[in-house]
Amino acid sequence: MTTAFVFPGQGSQAVGMGKELNDGSAAARAVFEEVNDALGQNLSKLMFEGPIDELTLTYNAQPALMAASIAVVRVLESEFDIKMADIASFVAGHSLGEYSAHAAAGTFSLTDTANLLKLRGEAMQRAVPVGIGAMAAIMGGEFETIEEIAAEASKDGGSDRVCTAANDNADGQVVISGHKEAVEKAMEIAKERGIKRAILLPVSAPFHCPLMQPAADEMAVALGNTAFNSPSVPVITNVSAKPETDPEVLRRMLVDQITGRVRWRETVLKMGELGVDQLVEVGTGKVLSGLVRRINRDIAGQSLQNLHDIEAFAEN
């Protein structure tokens, strides 16, 4: 069996995330304490108790999701003597989840990962004033069709309008991002062309599009000042949708990811080409293990969120 560990992105956060792990495992508690210390805030209390509107703020949700994922990895290592590098042939993460993948693979430290994600969330929020940008999920239609619609919406109203395909999540599920007027125009065009559904997403900034360039510039500096190691497991990056191990390439991919498309469908297809037949989602939620069924039914998906999940996985 060839296994890939994957790490969720923003949207999977929920009040109570990680609490059962914290209460039942010293290894998980150590992760949450280290992240709290790194950030100088009681993030774990926010994760365990909410409120959800504060937890959902980008600069809180990003390190919180990472911490919950790494807690699972550490429980596997300490409680069950299962090292990720011994059982996973590849790792990948959806958007911020790529940072979690790097933390799990030892590319950079947990403290550095927490600080990078806090900064990433703040920089992405600063890049575009609230109300200027938007994102929308287009349900139905092939990726190439959505890409064409986004390009058409960009041209309608002037060359300075941005609308682009930001997340290629699965067949029939593409997220577009850019100026609010252009995104709304793309939604209209999609409906005119018979696309099933187009829904504005409740996000505070237009992620993964050229409007995020100021955030990419900030992250280039921060990542340039961060020590990178070779990962213990090849990382399939969002930008290239192929496995990478060179620390300098991985550093560049994380900068490019801020403005670039999340090529998740292609990532899972690449896993299939590489012989992966088991995808293990590590952390909060089941979004990625659910998407795999829409992309490649030959890959079995499962999620590890709590001690029961981890114990069942360790016994198999």
Active site residues: 95, 208
Q: Which residues contact 41 (CB under 8 A, 6 or more apart)?
A: none
Classify 76 as helix, strand or coil. Answer: helix
257 to 10, 18, 87, 295: CA distances (angstroms)? 14, 27, 27, 22
Angle at 305 between CA 231 and CA 174, to 5 degrees: 75
Residue for token digits 């994957």? 6
Q: How far apart are alpha carbons 163 and 168 in whole angstroms?
A: 14
Angle at 272 between CA 100 and CA 167, to 5 degrees: 50
Angle between helices 97-105 and 247-259 (to 10 degrees): 170
Q: How far apart are alpha carbons 262 and 119 in whole angstroms?
A: 20
The β-bridge partners of 280 are: 5, 302
Query: Which of 110, 15, 124, 24 minimizes the C-alpha distance to 63?
Result: 110
Pairing of strands 300-304, 278-282: parallel
Inter-residue long-range contacts of 158-162, CB under 8 Å, 24+ positions, other chains counted: 162/206, 162/209, 162/210, 162/211
Query: Which of 205, 162, 168 minimizes the C-alpha distance to 184?
Result: 162
Q: Distance between terminal CA atoms of the chain?
A: 12
Listing from the earlier edge strand, what are the strands of the sheet with 163-170?
163-170, 173-179, 133-139, 197-200
